[in-house]
Amino acid sequence: DSGVTQTPKHLITATGQRVTLRCSPRSGDLSVYWYQQSLDQGLQFLIQYYNGEERAKGNILERFSAQQFPDLHSELNLSSLELGDSALYFCASSVEAGGMLTDTQYFGPGTRLTVL
């Protein structure tokens, strides 16, 4: 158990809908990262937050957004969902941004999103 929690575990929804995925980092970790993992693309970095502020951005679509709250939990919002958004979404946390030079990321169990 990494100490990172994600809810829900599974989510099934229809195209065009909007969903929110939630992540609670390990106690004491200030950074939260979101990843998307699909069979053909592998694990893709979406976005990172550090202590409530956006720190780095990857291949995140404009239909997706995220935020980190004062209690450090984070939410990933996916809107206007398409079939291709079906994937596993992972949240990871680490102690600090610290240039990421020595940062180990601890991954949550993931949310499996299915768009029908």
Partner 1 sequence: SQKIEQNSEALNIQEGKTATLTCNYTNYSPAYLQWYRQDPGRGPVFLLLIRENEKEKRKERLKVTFDTTLKQSLFHITASQPADSATYLCALLHMNYGGSQGNLIFGKGTKLSVKP
Question: Residues 67, 79, 96, 107: which binds partner 1 (CB under 8 A)?
Answer: 107
**Least distance from partner 1 to the Cβ atom of residue 16, Å:** 27
SS3 per-residue string spanning the chain: CCCCEEECCEEEECCCCCEEEEEECCCCCCEEEEEEEECCCEEEEEEEEECCEEEEECCCCCCEEEEECCCCCEEEEECCCCHHHCEEEEEEEECCCHHHCCCCCEECCCEEEEEC
Question: Residues 58, 82, 84, 116: which binds partner 1 (CB under 8 A)?
Answer: 58
Contact residues for partner 1 (CB under 8 A)?
2, 4, 33, 42-45, 48, 55-56, 58, 90, 92, 97, 99-102, 104-110, 112
